Structure 1
Amino acid sequence: MSWGLAGRRILVAGGTRGIGGATVELLLREGCAVALCGRRKRDVEAAARDGEVFARSVDVTIPDAVEDFTEEAVERLGGLDGVVACAGGGSGGGIEEASRAQWTATFEANTGYSARLLGAAAAHLRAAGGGSAVLVASISGWKPGPQAQYGAAKAAQISMAATLARELGRDGTRVNAVSPGSTLVPGKRWDGMRTEQPEEFAAFTREFPGGRLIQPQEVAEVIVFLLSDRSSGISGANIPVDRAQNAPTPFGY
């Protein structure tokens, strides 16, 4: 099934692996012109596909980095019809151990750069007639689980999507959040648990009524739907993609 996105110009921050990588794959199959950035240079080089996409190694937490990349992408693609904020992460332990710097870094790696990305992209989306922005948050934004700084940053992303949908909607721009549940990405956290702690992993799957974690492609389908005109009536929403997962992690307090 096609989402009718052929020719659209889309920027994906955090587009090298996992959910971001799956989103880029789907956008390319749709016939989109894609710009992506990621932190690791080797992953960016692999994602560049011999020039099929415009790709840069960018640490989105560095001041002006995501803004500069946005302008480069606009110049290369000739404008923007959509943006996806898919980078993210967290640092620090519990409330007694996490430092002020770790709280700040976690906020910037999720909410802060997302705000700067939309600020840099807003005028270009407006020039294209509005477009769509998707912030990839997490069920950790409303389902309690360690660590608090990560959940707080994701909750802020969800709130920001609703607020910016009102602010930017006057120009025809839609803004939505997507909240994945625990996603099985090769080589990442849950994949490592599956191979190294199979009994614990099997117990964790009971958090899902269907007995299996989310796949990156399942989240990517929802992101691409929100970028398309088929979701034209949806803005300011937070859409969970968690298969009714109960808790974000298997680790209690």
Structure 2
Amino acid sequence: MTDAGHDREQRGATGQFAGRRIVVTGGSRGLGEHVVRLLLSEGARVATCARKPESLEALRSSLDTPAALFARSLDVSVPELLERFVEDAVSMLGGVDGVVACAGGARGRGITEASPEDWAATWEMNVGHVARLVAASTPHLRETGGGSIVVVASVSGWKPGPQAQYGSAKAAQIHMVTSLARELARDGIRVNAVSPGSMLIPGKRWDRMRQEDPPAFARFRSEFPAGELVRPEEVADVIAFLLSDQSRAVTGVNLPVDKGQNAPTPEGY
């Protein structure tokens, strides 16, 4: 963790989310980890889940305030596991004020190679997971008088690139947000999407390309007007804004956080 991240965490209960209770799926690594750390640093109590228990334990052991985190290992595409996690998280936190659907992913390659199982798995990781998370959380958000739901979509949901199963699932998430925002407005619940551009995360695809194939990485950087990929902490800041009272008039939007990225992959459009 950076010195800035440590300083944020030390602010604890004096932060803008002091007393808030927030559920985050996919919070052990990458963008999700940045979101969890930011919320904890601003005083929130957080419940998160991820597939790998070792990643969750590494996160917990690195925190100065581990008691503020409720964590469980599970696959968000398994309905009963996700729903039970939400119920137990609400019980542990004493309610819920905000939800971040950060878990997601993709399976399969191009259209002639991807199997029906690849399409179904990609859909469940993204669209099915969000639908069940919102459905399970909504009754509890109603009890607290409303709240904010943020869905992490992707630049691939509205700027086409391979593979189609991932882009179409992310596009469905964006459309779902606009529909749910209208449906849940009467309950005081806001629903928004954030569409990150390609993020430079240590050990992930673009970081590996940067190290293993510098010429290809340089070509990909040209898709960004400023020549820089998105950093996950930049996306986390926007998610925090959408969870905060500062965005109380914002609902039903898809907010790109992509530094003006053109094509979402090195293959172009």
> How far apart are the structure 2 equivalents of 1:142 and 1:232?
25
Name the residue aligned to 1:232. 248
Name the residue aligned to 2:21. 9
Q: Which amino acid aligns with 1:56?
A: R
Q: Is 1:122 paired with 2:138?
A: yes
> How far apart are the structure 2 equivalents of 1:119 and 1:6?
25
Name the residue aligned to 1:28. 40
> How far apart are the structure 2 equivalents of 1:142 and 1:153?
11
Q: Is 1:80 paired with 2:96?
A: yes
> How far apart are the structure 2 equivalents of 1:134 and 1:47?
22
Q: Which amino acid aligns with 1:234?
A: V
1:142-153 equivalent positions in 2, closer than 5 A: 142-153=158-169
- Return the TM-score normalized by structure 2: 0.92
Deviation at 1:48, TM superposition (A): 2.2
> How far apart are the structure 2 equivalents of 1:48 and 1:118?
25
> How far apart are the structure 1 equivalents of 2:263 and 2:250?
26
Name the residue aligned to 2:180. 164
Considering only aligned residues, what root-mean-square deviation do their CA atoms show, in Å? 1.3
Deviation at 1:5, TM superposition (A): 1.7
Name the residue aligned to 1:245. 261
Equivalenced residue count is 253
Deviation at 1:52, TM superposition (A): 3.6
User: Is the 2:158–2:167 contact (alpha carbons within 8 Å) kept by the matching residues of 1?
Assistant: yes
After superposition, what is the alpha-carbon deviation per residue over 1:65-99, rounded to whole angstroms, capped at 9, x for unaligned? 11110001001000000000000110111111111
Q: Is 1:43 paired with 2:55?
A: yes
After superposition, what is the alpha-carbon deviation per residue over 1:200-229, rounded to whole angstroms, capped at 9, x for unaligned? 001100000111100000000000000001
Name the residue aligned to 1:176. 192
1:194 aligned residue (210, 221, 224): 210
Return structure 1 stretches of 4+ with deviation > 4 angstroms.
none
Deviation at 1:35, TM superposition (A): 0.6
User: Is the 2:98–2:147 contact (alpha carbons within 8 Å) kept by the matching residues of 1?
Assistant: yes
Deviation at 1:252, TM superposition (A): 4.5
> How far apart are the structure 1 equivalents of 2:188 and 2:79?
28
Q: Is 1:100 paired with 2:116?
A: yes
Q: Which amino acid aligns with 2:233?
A: Q
Q: Is 1:68 paired with 2:87?
A: no
Look up the SS of the partner of 1:48 in the other structure.
Answer: helix
Deviation at 1:142, TM superposition (A): 0.7
Any stretches of 5+ residues in structure 2 without a counterpart? 1-7, 9-13
Kindly tell me: are residues 211 and 110 of structure 1, through their superposed partners in 2, closer, same or farther at Cα, counting changes over 3 Å? Answer: same
> How far apart are the structure 2 equivalents of 1:107 and 1:38?
18
> How far apart are the structure 1 equivalents of 2:267 and 2:84?
39
User: Is the 1:139–1:248 contact (alpha carbons within 8 Å) kept by the matching residues of 2?
Assistant: yes
User: Is the 1:143–1:247 contact (alpha carbons within 8 Å) kept by the matching residues of 2?
Assistant: yes
Look up the SS of the partner of 1:207 in the other structure.
Answer: coil
Any stretches of 5+ residues in structure 1 without a counterpart? none
User: Is the 1:40–1:57 contact (alpha carbons within 8 Å) kept by the matching residues of 2?
Assistant: yes
> How far apart are the structure 1 equivalents of 2:133 and 2:256?
22
After superposition, what is the alpha-carbon deviation per residue over 1:21-51, rounded to whole angstroms, capped at 9, x for unaligned? 1111110111001111111111011122443
User: Is the 1:3–1:225 contact (alpha carbons within 8 Å) kept by the matching residues of 2?
Assistant: no
